[in-house]
Amino acid sequence: MDQPLPRPDGLQVRPIRALTYRRHDPSHLARVSSPAYDLVTAAGRERLAGEDPHNIVRLILPHVEANEREDGGRAARDRHPAETAAATLDRWLDEGVLVRDPVPALWRYEMAPPGRAATTGWLGAVALPPRGSAAVLPHEDTYAPAVEGRRALLAATRTDLEPIVLAHDTDAAVAALTQAAAVGPPTLEVADPDGVRHRLWRVTDAAVLDALTAAFASTAAVIADGHHRFAAATEHQRSGAAHAGAVLALVTPMGPGGLHLRAIHRVVPDLTMDTALTSAAAGFTVRELTPPDGDTDAFLRSWPAGPGPATFLVTDGQRVAELSAPTGAVRDAVPAEAPEAWRGLDVVLAHHGLFGRLWGRSDDPASVLVAHDVDEALRSARERAGVAVLLHSPSPADVAAVARAGARMPRKSTLFVPKPRTGLVLRPHDG
């Protein structure tokens, strides 16, 4: 196979000597793995921690456990959560719960959701590009306190505890190498609660690794998931920490064999339906809808959350209204100097025109909550005496266009699926 020519701003992907759980049986991996940290609720964190004393959630969402408070006294109470995670990680290493690979490898990672084609990519260390490089482009804004929390965790543990996800330019050489690498039984295999089957092959063959490194160097990528973790890794590098400069990433293709894109919805707490619709009427055509058979939840679950026009559904869990035909009052709230690829997005019109201008809500996690599916949006709206706003998702082309224009979508605008399972492969920073 001819080696592709590297790009000056191409991806730099390198093998890692990973940390994995010593026990590889699927039932154990199911008990000790978790979703990414930002998908775990407080109740979910406690449930996962209760499933196994070595569940990875104790590292990615650390806090001082009750027995530590009792036995450790004031020192444990005053410990920063990141220091708790580092101490837990050190203990697991000493006890042999986690073990280090003897040689560097890239990991072929296949995720197969029920009834859908599998998504396949590679886990490895991706070099943090220099300022101005187009090798890795973000497309969403980040929230500074969340970035600092992830940075503190990196500094304390000196380990990437979970991967970010990148969508790279389609490349025939990468695709061919990916297909050829599925040889023999997987090294790790587990099914998650959503029925997605995760299978990973540890690949150590030097010729294959060299070919993959060269092939990836001819591509660039957009961050699909993990903007806060990427920003934290960048801040960690700027701090001058030893062995900084790379981030654990699952690198998947943009297009066939890659990820699917779903909407992330919004919830505005402490806002009545009457107030929401009265204010929205200053910038939208408002039409109340009657769900068939009075089943509001089922009606909302059928909402076409894929790419579509600037039309939103607003609900308090009982009443439903459609907001369409945004007027100048909405569109003028969007910064005119922003690139066209950004200004026309539904999520931008919602944040700037609806939430900011018409409802007077600032864009922070206390004023506008995010929900990763309709059920979560409805539950949150009811619990918080507010309204849920169901959005269309952008298309992958929209995401790429925004990133390449140097713009950023509002935080939590995209939900690429399926998600890698946290806890299967960790990357120590010293190699």
pLDDT of residue 8: 63
Q: How far is residue 230 from each of residues 2, 14, 140, 237, measured CA to CA in Å?
A: 32, 17, 11, 11
**CA 106/CA 425 separation, integer angstroms:** 11
Q: pLDDT (tens digit, 0 to 9) for every residue of the chain, 431 residues total?
A: 444 445 567 999 999 999 999 999 999 999 999 999 999 989 999 999 999 999 999 999 998 554 443 344 444 556 789 999 999 999 999 999 999 999 999 999 999 999 888 999 999 999 999 988 989 999 888 889 999 999 999 999 999 999 999 999 889 999 999 999 988 999 999 999 999 999 999 999 999 999 999 999 999 999 999 999 999 999 999 999 888 999 999 999 987 888 888 889 999 999 999 999 999 999 999 999 998 888 888 999 887 766 667 789 999 999 999 999 999 989 999 888 888 888 878 888 999 999 999 999 988 888 999 998 999 999 999 999 999 999 988 877 788 888 888 888 888 888 888 999 999 999 999 86
What's the start-to-end Cα distance of the chain, in Å?
Answer: 29
The DSSP secondary structure of 265-299, one letter per residue, reads: EEEESS--HHHHHHHHTTTSEEEEE--GGG-HHHH
Cα-flanking dihedrals φ and ψ of residue 98, to 5°? -110, 145
- Cα dihedral 91, 191, 248, 241, rounded to 10, equals -20
**CA 111/CA 190 separation, integer angstroms:** 10
> Domain spans of the chain?
13-261+418-428, 265-392
Rounded to 5°, the CA angle 113-181-223 comes to 55
Q: With b meaning 16 or more CB within 10 Å and e meaning fewer, what string describes 402-415?
A: bbeeebbbbbbbbb
